[in-house]
Structure 1
Amino acid sequence: MPSQVSLSRLLPPDRIVVGLKATTCEGAVAQLLDRLAAAGLISDRGAVDELVAADVSAGELLNLGPRTLLAHYRTDAARELAVAIATSATPFAFAPAKADEAVVFVLIVAPRSAAKYHLKTLAALSRLLGTPEVVDALAKATSAEEVVELITQKDVVIRPELTVHDLMSREVHSVSPEALLSEALQLMVRHRRRGMPVLGDNGEVLGMITEQEVLQHFLPQVIGSATPREGDQPAIEDVEVRYVMQRSVMCLSEDQLISDVLGTMLTERVSQFPVVREGKLVGFLSRTDIIVKLLRHSIYK
């Protein structure tokens, strides 16, 4: 892979379908595959069609961003990594219930040897399609050339290395310092998080509440008498987060390299980080996020 490639180079007009009319997911993928095959990028169309049929039956269509659907395949029937995009002014008829407003459909086909390039391309597409304004503009485009111009204007590049922005969770659950510890624990259990940030009134990170702080705070009760005596620490439902939270918190910026973050995780024994922009929380990155997202995109297959 070159050190840096503009996403627009992967999307010439002949790989863009404006006003997609397909009524099924399989039909939508077939139309985009036709474009890639015509460009000489598919060596065995039958093999790819088999993959598509298996994925459609398994419901493997993914959300890439707001109102955007993704189908991606790794197969040696692809001569090189290729991308095609379809748009529609109205929601696709084949969109699943959880994404019934989708108006942009992305197809990626890549050889197995291009695993890392595949993931980095997904990250670049996620950056491009991560805002409603871009998706709305693409849906309103009336020609493939207009779509290309919109993508070129955004100047999104496929970065040589993954960044925090590429893998962080944008759906962040947080608590206030005044929240009860029992409420924080319920959120952590419900969302399967080992910790969460504590935020001030302006969205600034004041601390972290994690399993470790909870255990350390209540360890005397756990190993001591089963019946608390007067003067003992209060019950968990009566404690505010501010009295238990970790106040010294290492935060990340969105442009930090994942390779650097992994090094910090190992040397500092930190497994989760708030991600901030101009002092305010915009995401969360944990060791689990990194592992899950890498596996989801099959980088190790």
Structure 2
Amino acid sequence: MKLGDLLFAERIRIPLRARTLRDAVLETGTLFGPTEGSPFGGSAYLQLGASPSGLTRMGSATDPGRTREPSIALGVAPRPLEVEGLSEGETGPRIILLVLLPVGVERDVRFRMEAAFSHSETEAAILRSGSSEQLLGLRRLTEIELKAALRVEDVMEPVSYRIYADTPLDEVLDLIVRRRLSTVPVVGEGLQVRGIITADEILRYALRSAGSRPKPGENPPLASDVMSRSVMCVSDDELLDDAAQLMANRHVDQLPVVRDGEFVGFLKREDVLSALFGPAEVDGGRD
């Protein structure tokens, strides 16, 4: 979906008549019309995010269930809006962008508005527009790709191998060495995660057992003998932002991923960093 798919002339106001940020948000909110209503009242303007330049204020609110698709309203002020609490030398925004989202999907439909308006050329092109028709003709704006929030399943690394509690440690060691793994999960018969074995634990085992053989009648050590039973997992349908926060708070490099309780893969820190903070895929072209 592109930004142009959600922008319509009747939801664009150039110029805004309001002089303050609060009134500009309320005025822009009325563009949603009586059939959709406008929840952008009260202190909603205080919750708006800002583009890096400060020229754009962006806000989202939940629709009271009367629309199934996201809606966008955009207003452009002829001069910087008055904002309470601005520091000396700061100027108010001129572009107000409001997004109305269906109930229950406000987190699922996380449009990359910050990325869309992180380019000063985009904001400059909007400010040069003298009418809604001119603004809708800006390919730099209308061609911006809007992406829903990433989930763990979009980034995780699926795995095909399985280690069970009764798997001999020699087999675990062989698997870790051959596949250059840092961690392997230990699963039960129903593929639920029962524990985890790290390369450090396997290294300690290998050093202890080097040059020694099991005594007659002695059973070889098993995965269950060294695995850690306290394991943090994430669901494959969890928001990637939330999983990333968990990894940062718990200082872990990767997390087992489960689907309906079954182990299906790993979420790795380097993949999370690449997905969340890699180059933004915003290509609006030139006008």
What TM-score results when the alignment is normalised by the length of structure 1?
0.46
Structure number with the higher helix fraction is 1
What TM-score results when the alignment is normalised by the length of structure 2?
0.48
